[in-house]
Amino acid sequence: MKPIGTRPIRTTRLLLRKPEHDDAAALVDIRSLPMTMAEARKAVASMVAESAKPFCFHWVITMEGQTVGRLKCWEVDPYNGYVQLGYDVGPEYRGQGIMTEAVGAVIRYMLTEAEANRVYCSVRENNHASRRVCEKNGMKHEGVLRQHYARQDGGYDDVHIYGIIRSDLAEGE
């Protein structure tokens, strides 16, 4: 996998770009960072510092100049060539295909430009919208991890694993 880090990605409607210090207020406003403004500033400062690293892939999603969400590759494993995607979009922007478009662009970026071999997502059982984002982007359902994510109420959720590998992307084009 190439150590190219976060580069801007343009799609038909979106610009995905590196986080900036000024993003804290917008990310709190859209509830992407559900925390106080002081906590959000600290979290965004950490994102900005981390984004200088060659194996950091973290984007703020904007549409028509408005911040609408964010997307991050975490669990980046350059040796084995895989990354896990995590993402969120503000509630007022859901149901518009924004995340499907952003995830598709990042999958292509990671598999072609960064030359990762595999991109995957771990999605809670009841998060049907996120599961659909994965499916629309050609990710295959690979299995279920039973009681994998803890809930705030003390219970556990099953997690569905979706993945796509570089050769899957080539087949779909």
Mean pLDDT of 24-52: 86
Cα–Cα distance, 9 to 133 (Å, whole number): 18
pLDDT on residue 34: 77
Average pLDDT over residues 128-148: 97
Q: Residue 52: its pLDDT value, please? A: 86
Q: Is the pLDDT of residue 99 over 80?
A: yes
Average pLDDT over residues 118-143: 97
Strand extents, DSSP E, 8-166: 9-10, 14-17, 57-63, 66-77, 82-89, 118-124, 140-150, 156-165
Task: Measure the CA–CA gap between 159 and 124, rounded to whole angstroms.
Answer: 4
Name the residue among 119, 2, 13 with its Cα closest to residue 66. Answer: 13
pLDDT of residue 14: 98
Residue 61: per-residue pLDDT: 97
| Mean pLDDT computed over every residue of the chain | 94
Give the model's confidence band at 144: pLDDT under 50 very low, under 70 low, under 90 confident, else very high.
very high
For the record, the structure tokens of 26 come out as 């917008």
pLDDT top residue among 35 and 57: 57
pLDDT at 172: 62
Residue 71 and residue 61 in contact, taking contact as beta carbons nearer than 8 Å: yes
The string of pLDDT tens digits covering residues 55-77 is: 999 999 999 999 999 999 999 99
- Whole-number pLDDT of residue 167: 94
Residues 52-62: b if buried by 16+ CB within 10 A, e if exposed: eeebbbbbbbb
* Mean pLDDT computed over 68-95: 95
CA distances from 55 to 20, 27, 83, 151, 155 (A): 18, 23, 10, 30, 34
Burial level of 125, CB count in 10 A (0-12/13-18/19+)? middle
pLDDT at 171 over 80: no
